[in-house]
């Protein structure tokens, strides 16, 4: 018997639509046709276009940042100056130097009396964070005991480690110091001129720390002690109020840097009060008393 011939199915037959009544029998489904007129496709396109339109409108309505100009900067600075109260130069100078200023107290002993007798109060300034302090020699001279009080209230005994009698200077070493002790910034007097603003900080009559502001009145001045025993040269003359107790304290510029150590006031009367002329040893001389040259 002849076997029937086997042929591959032609494309025409393969693409032929299967009748509906044969779908259940064969399990073949009719392929969906893609149509541009489909309502579902139309609504999808409308939704996408709406989203794009809203996004474009939002970008168009967003305010543009104007370019930064010098005029804008000047206006902002001017407004800040008009609405903000800035500290005075004297306030800034005091804030910078006050953590380095100390009260210096000298004590003596009297025969036949027990205990210590306070002989005088002066001022000093910390120049090295290990507790090295500059002050006036006449504040601590011949003292049996010296004590200093730091900015945080800590009291410590101190000893004299160096003196410079020709400039009325003494260098002290405190035995105990605060953990956060701040030394003062020293500034050369090379560019100091009459008229420059300065401040004297110390303990006048033991009150303080007190600040008084003025100007440099002159340079390279000389002063002779009232007893006529000593003459000091190359001094800074200033008119910031200074009184007994200010001796040994710093004379500072408006940036808080030390340019001198207050040593004397000029008053030809017995009152020993300030009449407008004070003197300070330039910091270059004071630094040399410590054996250091910071400039």
Q: Is the pLDDT of residue 248 over 50?
A: yes
H or E element at residue 91: helix 89-97
What average pLDDT does the structure give for the chain?
A: 83
Q: Is the pLDDT of residue 80 over 50?
A: yes
- Identify whether the C-beta of residue 123 lies closer than 8 Å to the C-beta of residue 249: yes
The residues, any chain, with a CB within 8 Å of residue 287's CB and separated by 6 or more, are 127, 186, 293, 294, 295
Question: What is the pLDDT averaged over residues 256-265?
Answer: 94
The residues, any chain, with a CB within 8 Å of residue 29's CB and separated by 6 or more, are 23
Does 136 or 13 have the greater pLDDT score?
A: 136
Domains of the chain, first to last: 93-174 (2.40.10.10), 197-290 (2.40.10.10)
Question: What is the pLDDT averaged over residues 269-287?
Answer: 86
Question: What is the pLDDT averaged over residues 105-115?
Answer: 82
Question: What is the pLDDT averaged over residues 65-85?
Answer: 79
Q: How far is CA 226 from CA 6, 95, 122, 230, in A?
A: 141, 34, 18, 9
The residues, any chain, with a CB within 8 Å of residue 89's CB and separated by 6 or more, are 197, 254
Q: Which active-site residues does the annotation give? A: 138, 168, 247
At residue 207, the pLDDT reads 92
Q: Is the pLDDT of residue 9 over 60?
A: no
Assign 76 to helix, strand or coil. Answer: helix
Does 49 or 166 have the greater pLDDT score?
A: 166
The percent of residues in the chain predicted with pLDDT above 70, rounded, is: 80
The residues, any chain, with a CB within 8 Å of residue 221's CB and separated by 6 or more, are 234, 235, 236, 237, 279
Q: How far is CA 212 from CA 60, 85, 101, 185, 253, in A?
A: 62, 21, 14, 19, 12
Confidence category of residue 16, pLDDT binned at 50, 70, 90: very low
At residue 86, the pLDDT reads 73
At residue 36, the pLDDT reads 54
Q: Is the pLDDT of residue 279 over 80?
A: yes
Q: Is the pLDDT of residue 54 over 90?
A: no
- 8-state DSSP, 158: E
At residue 62, the pLDDT reads 59
At residue 37, the pLDDT reads 61
């Amino acid at each position: 018997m002849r076997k029937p011939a086997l042929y591959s199915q032609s494309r025409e037959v393969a693409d032929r639509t299967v009748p509906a009544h044969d779908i259940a029998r064969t399990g073949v489904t009719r392929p969906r046709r893609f149509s541009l007129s489909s309502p579902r496709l139309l609504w999808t396109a409308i939704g996408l276009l709406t989203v794009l339109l809203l996004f474009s409108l939002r970008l168009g309505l967003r305010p543009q940042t104007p370019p930064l100009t010098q005029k804008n900067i000047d206006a902002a600075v001017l407004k800040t100056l008009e609405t903000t109260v800035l500290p005075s130069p004297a306030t800034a100078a005091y804030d910078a130097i006050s953590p380095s200023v100390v009260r210096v107290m000298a004590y003596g002993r009297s025969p036949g009396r027990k205990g210590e007798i306070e002989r005088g109060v002066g001022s000093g300034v910390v120049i090295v964070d290990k507790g090295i302090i500059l002050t006036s020699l006449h504040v601590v001279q011949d003292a049996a005991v010296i004590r200093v009080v730091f900015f945080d209230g800590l009291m410590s005994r101190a000893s004299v480690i160096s003196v410079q009698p020709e400039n009325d200077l003494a260098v002290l070493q405190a035995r105990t110091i605060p953990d956060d002790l701040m030394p003062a910034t020293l500034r050369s007097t090379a560019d100091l001129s009459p008229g420059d603003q300065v401040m004297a900080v110390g303990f006048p009559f033991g009150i303080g720390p007190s600040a008084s502001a003025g100007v440099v009145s002159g340079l390279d001045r000389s002063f002779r002690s009232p007893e006529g025993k000593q003459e000091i040269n190359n001094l800074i003359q200033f008119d910031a109020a200074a009184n007994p107790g200010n001796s040994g304290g710093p004379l500072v510029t408006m940036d808080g840097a030390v340019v001198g150590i207050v040593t004397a006031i000029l008053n030809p009367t017995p009152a020993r009060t300030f009449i407008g002329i004070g003197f300070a040893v330039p910091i270059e001389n004071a630094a040399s008393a410590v054996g250091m040259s910071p400039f």
